[in-house]
Structure 1
Amino acid sequence: MESNATSGSRKVRVALLFGGRSSEHAVSCVTAAGVMGAIDTDRYEVVPIGITREGQWVLSDGDWHEWALNTGRLPEVGPAEGTVSLAEGSGRTRLVVAEPNRVPRELGEVDVVFPLLHGAFGEDGTVQGLLELADVRYVGAGVLASAVGMDKHFMKLAFAAAGLAVGPYIAVTDKEWRRDPGAVRDAVGRLGYPVFVKPCRAGSSVGITKVDAPEQLEAAIAEARRHDPRLVIEAAIAGREIECGVLEGRGADAPRTSLPGEVSVAGGSHAFYDFEAKYVEDSAAALSCPADLPQEAIAHVRELAAVAFDAVAAEGLSRVDFFYTPEGEFVINEINTMPGFTPISMYPQMWAATGVPYPELIDELIQLALARPTGLR
């Protein structure tokens, strides 16, 4: 599909999708607030579309303050009478609002969708598949990369196949836990405590528990299974948490990588970089970029981040997280194909330190999406 925007004739029309059905609904709303507040409105016409927890697409008024994270309140998309949908025909992708007992109302064409969605039903390839079927360009990873990047088990398989160092772990399916929980406990014992119990397909540290002793395991598994029936249980790795941003190269160019950043948790009630430390308590975590590493280690982790990006066939953007061990080895933890993207999130901070400020980063991601065809590529 050719781009609907004609240079000099009108602004590029960008539909921002945010909210969604996952446990990261509020984080997605905060991300949308950041993008709405920073996007270049001289170049782009923004159409904000919130997705409720039940899956309804609703038109937002575009006031980014409504979706910002305020003390004591997590933003949430509420239901509305009108439901927004994408309609494709004659080479044009249009936004349509359907309301009870009314003729569907057209909102016009859309040039690119920016899916600011985290977690299941948004970051996992489902929305990406919908956009492919609608033949509309979109920011970020495609169907396969989104699905693999959301699944902590299969991403580890892809990383290991690409030669990246992966820490010890086990994957636990719903049937395995229900059929023989004792075998799972034995397998965890062989990993050695402490371990981290994680939902296989969730982000923002939702549902993750650090387990220091066997008697804590059952509760941690129950908590993770509230978010996903499939789990990964990982041995704790001694090391510093180092992150690196990746930005797709233009044309046939290789992926671009940011200076790495480091996350350190201030301690207290936080045993690791959990949801509260990331988004709620300002003083709970320190983010430093560039990370205090030897120059050769900085160069090496940037190379590894590009390998991880290509290992899952990512596009657009990703944040790749590593542990830097006392022995000087980088062990990959995970890739996030739609990382936290508020102005104070690690991904934009790392690119700002590398010389790409937040508004410019938003622009580059949209331009990458406009230059990329839909369909097989």
Structure 2
Amino acid sequence: MTQATDETRLRALTPQVLAVLVSRGADFAAAEDATQDALLQALHTWPHDPPRDHKAWLITVAWHKFLDATRADTARRRREDRHDEQPTPGPTTSTDDTLQLYFLCAHPTLTPASAVALTLRAVGGLTTRQIAQAYLVPEATMAQRISRAKRTISDTRLDQPGDVATVLRTLYLVFNEGYSGDIDLAAEAIRLTRQLDTAIDHPEVDGLLALMLLHHARRPARTTPDGNLIPLARQDRARWDTTLITEGIHTLQRALAQDRLGEFQAQAAIAALHADAPTAADTDWRQIVEWYDELAGLTDNPVVRLNRAVAVGEAEGPRAGLAALGELDETLPRYTAVAAYLHERDGEVETAAKLYMEAAEKAPNLAERGHLTREAARLNGVLRGDVDA
């Protein structure tokens, strides 16, 4: 067995081992320290003396290391005595324990950023350096963030059912970070959501997984080779991953069959309608508007209504879209970009060009700023009568 194989297997087993220690009463920070010590010993021992049951070996070694650390802390003698009464863990299934770990890492007392970092560290098995690189922050900064998160939940015991919605929001935050550094966070979020899907029967877990798969399927067509954004309507649909689309639609159907609609299922239904259209012109915008109405009834998120205005503009014409947009707060992120698009669709090229430039100045990132600036330049070219516009 190669070291690379060992490291891959260890990463998969890490959350299961950590979850068992936490479920047996170890506080999170101490459990993770013991687990990491066990992993290091495994990398040293397994190449020449592999165990028959890898998970059982790790649990046993990690538990002993936790007890050793507890005994070394004389101020925690009573706690040591309590843990000494626990049986040494052997082979075990830890599906429920791992599920609890998801809930612990996405605890409501944590900030979203801390919950994401801790989930990637504990459940995903990523190193602090890998997480820092993915989020483009110094390793010391990410280490502090993770340490604070551990302290926050150090005395938390999950004796009540966890909040699935909080876990799903955390995973969706990971997914939306996409790709940066050496870690593909979108792929990592899909992997973790698949893992969660095997541990819990919940339609919104299926809904989130379907949404991720359908969005991820369009990724190859989303940007030009030099990194410029390509709007959905202009994407080369031949580059979409049909295998992921098929899986996403199947997963969504499984969720909807339970008749317990949630916001991730509604979002996935919208994504499925886009994915199912052979061309942009074939998109069933009326159904998309209906799904946005369902989604608006499930969540009070104004961004949903902003996206609905675009869908209304496509289904009923740009004037109807502008009317729907006029009911919303102009300070909403991307409001001006939507207004520019709808005015362009209505033939108001000069107004649209100005709005695209305004939207570019408000863009949340360089990629969007570049796209909106190019849209403004394109329309200004039309106004000048340039042949290349």
Normalization by structure 2: what TM-score? 0.24
Q: Choose between structure 1 and 2: higher strand proportion.
A: 1
The structure whose RCO (Cα within 8 Å, separation 6+) is larger is 1
Q: Which entry has the higher C-alpha Rg, 1 or 2?
A: 2
